[in-house]
Structure 1
Amino acid sequence: MENRAGTYPGKGKEMTTSPRLMVLYTGGTIGMQATEQGLSPASGFDVRMRHFLSQKPGRALPEWHFRELLPLMDSANMTPAYWLKLSAAILEAADQGYTGVLVLHGTDTLAYTAAAMSFHLLGLNIPVILTGSMLPPGVADTDAWENLDGALQTLAAGAPAGVHVYFHGELLHGARCSKIRSAGRHPFQCLTRQRSTTGRVSLPATLLARQSKAVADVAVLPLFPGISARHVQAMVAAGVRGLVLECYGSGTGPSDDEAFLASLRGAHSQGLVIVAVTQCHEGGVELDIYEAGSRLRTVGVVSGGGMTREAALAKLQVLLGLGLSQMDIAYWLEQDLCGERGH
């Protein structure tokens, strides 16, 4: 790991006053350079970052420090274990008096990491912004410097506490966005989800950022015509402890397949936590509207409301990692902890 200081040269002198920003570099396209095997995350991005910022002397930024969070990676290789490392680094920065954290991250799993940080860092009272780029620095039409500069300016101006995604001039809720485009501008969007009916709840100490967490085995299973009990049974046999069930519409599934429903009931009886989200880009899950949804609830499936796949996966991962009981996890899944259940 590296921890190097940098200051933004503004108006002929260096700024050393508060606020102070920590930049955590995890890899991704924003820091990639060409190799014989193709583009790969490279060390030394702080040098390139400092060079870029030095070309904008008329706009001063607060003091910033840079840290490489090793190993640097293409975000396609992101893991829940890395999320633990990243959240620990963010908490360490907060403890050291940094007033904001910028995470540089690849775009493929950036929405998953933003959702994960939203739940790993519940109660943290500083802003955390994740950004990256669709094209690496040095190529035509790169968005790397635009996103980096915009995210830094947003933090310097006093972004609200919580986890956010900054891309192409937009500040998005960290637990409500998804990657909707594989190329071009504005790859991330906050999906239009139904508003939570429960309202935001007060956070108990057991869910706050500094509680010790472990990595839990969580999977996603989309429903599709022809899905059967053996697909669920394969998840159980693999040792999965939590399952995000991507349902049709407002939360329906094959209600006339008794074997499929029995497999879900059996998984629940073995301690699995199963949460339903919708496959649709808009709306959310309401399990009691249709019989095909209410039968899912009777076999132990929990409603994910307006949560995205990324939010449900991350929330389930964190709740299981805290060692909570199946009943407690089911309860907290249906509560709005940070605005994840819709807007």
Structure 2
Amino acid sequence: MFKQGEIVEISTSTQVFKGVFIKEEKNFLVIKLSNGYNIGVAKRNIKSKKSVGKVKKEKDEGKAKTEKPNAKLPTISILHTGGTIASKVDYATGAVTARFTPESIIELFPELKNMVNINSNLISNMMSENMRFSHYNIMAKAVQEEVKKGAKGVIITQGTDTLHYTAAALSFVLENISIPVILVGSQRSSDRPSSDSAVNLISAGIYITNAKAGGVFVCMHDNMDDDKCIIIEGVNARKMHTSRRDAFRPINKGLVARVDYKKKKLEWLKDLKKNEGKLNVKYFNEKIKVGLVKSYPNMFANELECFKHFDGLIIEGTGLGHLGFIESDKFTKENKKIGKVLEHLAKKMPVAMTSQTLYGRIDMNVYTPGKKLLEMGVLGNYTDMTSETAYIKLAWLLSNYKKDQVKELFGKNLRGEISDRSEKEQFLV
């Protein structure tokens, strides 16, 4: 049988497939085509198969040529953490690997050199689902260093899966940030013909060169085409699709701006206030434990008991902020147990409510069970944060403030995470 990394040609009665052999399963062979996609060919359909060569091992990426800065252009910094935007297909193994150096990324996007001077730094080379609070602290420290160097703005490249967590985290950590910090990702690896990385990264550069105020933002595709990107405040962004280019949308808020990539123009959609005061970096306590649990029918009390040794808990409730804890008939005795556990947790730690609907505002005053949750001490009433932002906010507050201060600050709008009013135009933006 073929070895991994061999170039093979497989013929069926209707087609001929040529690609890199990945693996053999019980009933089919997996190969990676030249377009980067994997396919499985059923063994029963194979008429012939042969090896036609081996993939040459690629040399390590070299450094880009050092260019003299253009005094007429602003300087931005690109901090790389890994993910798809900093990835390419390793055709020797068929895997998508995060192994581009910062210099290699810059070579991929030569348009940036005509807009700005670029400083780059490789912070890490990891997939975003592996990140922890420690990594948010490292990013924040790196941004602080770039501010000291006089950067006009900072672009952070990251995998998209948890990009909205990172955007929220940096929004809280980087208090009074005076320059734009843009989180940018890609749904396709940078060396794929279908990659969206260039449009996203260059659009972030366009925004930075035109920005008049600081803050943490997300820059991703506006639609499925490669013509426009949108700028979303970091505390309001959320990934809403597994693979679409326009996966990121603002939740309960409007857009900051829309970037026309082809025309290199910016359309402002919101007035931003300049942050006054000195940059104050308030890091995460890496040992803080905050839980995030979804409410659903037929829950059991011991599911909540798992969090008794945590420091805080976010409950993603139903509707206006509900959780089944009322005993209403012979089948709901477990609900009463849930209520007792929840009451105990709320006395011990900050427990806050968000909604599974994503859009809309928590209002626990509408129905009697909600009022009982408020009596228990559950936080979050009248807020409209996403569960991810609420989770990050609670962890950050617990890292920097005393418990009584945390309970007071959780419901206050600190970085634009809570809207002043709910507008109909904010739904499904």
Shared fold (TM-score, shorter chain, > 0.5): yes
What is the CA–CA distance in structure 2 between the aligned matches of 1:308 and 1:263, rounded to whole Å?
24
- State the secondary structure of the residue aligned to 2:81: strand
Q: Shift of residue 37 of structure 1?
A: 6.6
1:228 maps onto 2:282 in alignment: no
1:127 maps onto 2:180 in alignment: yes
Pairs within 5 Å for 1:1-150: 15-17=70-72, 19-35=74-90, 36=93, 38-53=95-110, 56=111, 60-70=114-124, 72-150=125-203
Pairs within 5 Å for 1:255-274: 255-256=325-326, 257-270=335-348, 272-274=349-351
Pairs within 5 Å for 1:115-194: 115-158=168-211, 160-168=213-221, 169-192=229-252
Deviations 1:185-211 (A, max 9, x none): 2110112369xxxxxxxx999xx7323
What is the CA–CA distance in structure 2 between the aligned matches of 1:294 and 1:61, rounded to whole Å?
55
Q: Shift of residue 308 of structure 1?
A: 0.4
Partner of 1:243: 313
Equivalent residue for 1:332, pick from 409, 416, 427? 409
Task: Indicate conservation of the 8 Å contact 1:6/1:64, yes or no.
Answer: no
Deviations 1:98-123 (A, max 9, x none): 12110001100001110111111121
Aligned length: 319
Q: TM-score under structure 2 normalisation?
A: 0.69
Aligned CA RMSD, in angstroms, stands at: 2.6
Deviations 1:226-266 (A, max 9, x none): 11321111111xx3211110011111122413321211121
- The 1:101–1:275 alpha-carbon spacing in structure 2 relative to 1, beyond 3 Å, is same
Gaps of 5+ in 1: 195-202
Letter in 2 for 1:31: A
Equivalent residue for 1:314, pick from 371, 379, 392? 392
What is the CA–CA distance in structure 1 between the aligned matches of 2:388 and 2:181, rounded to whole Å?
18
Gaps of 5+ in 2: 1-62, 222-228, 255-274, 327-334, 422-429
What is the CA–CA distance in structure 2 between the aligned matches of 1:33 and 1:5, rounded to whole Å?
17
1:209 maps onto 2:209 in alignment: no
What is the CA–CA distance in structure 2 between the aligned matches of 1:255 and 1:230, rounded to whole Å?
13
Letter in 2 for 1:146: V
What is the percent sequence identity of the aligned residues? 25
Higher helix proportion (structure 1 or 2): 1
Q: TM-score under structure 1 normalisation?
A: 0.86
Q: Which sits farther off after the overlay, 31-40 or 86-95?
A: 31-40
- The 1:74–1:124 alpha-carbon spacing in structure 2 relative to 1, beyond 3 Å, is same
Task: Indicate conservation of the 8 Å contact 2:64/2:104, yes or no.
Answer: no
Q: Shift of residue 298 of structure 1?
A: 1.3
- The 1:222–1:204 alpha-carbon spacing in structure 2 relative to 1, beyond 3 Å, is farther
Q: 1 or 2 for the larger relative contact order (CA 8 Å, sep ≥6)? A: 1
- State the secondary structure of the residue aligned to 1:302: coil
Q: Shift of residue 18 of structure 1?
A: 5.7
Task: Indicate conservation of the 8 Å contact 1:6/1:65, yes or no.
Answer: no
Which has more radius of gyration?
2
**Structure 1 consecutive aligned stretches of length 4 or more whose deviation exceeds 4 Å:** 4-7
Deviations 1:303-335 (A, max 9, x none): 16100011101101111111x222210111000
Deviations 1:255-310 (A, max 9, x none): 4133212111211222x211110110310211211112111111121016100011
Q: Shift of residue 6 of structure 1?
A: 8.4
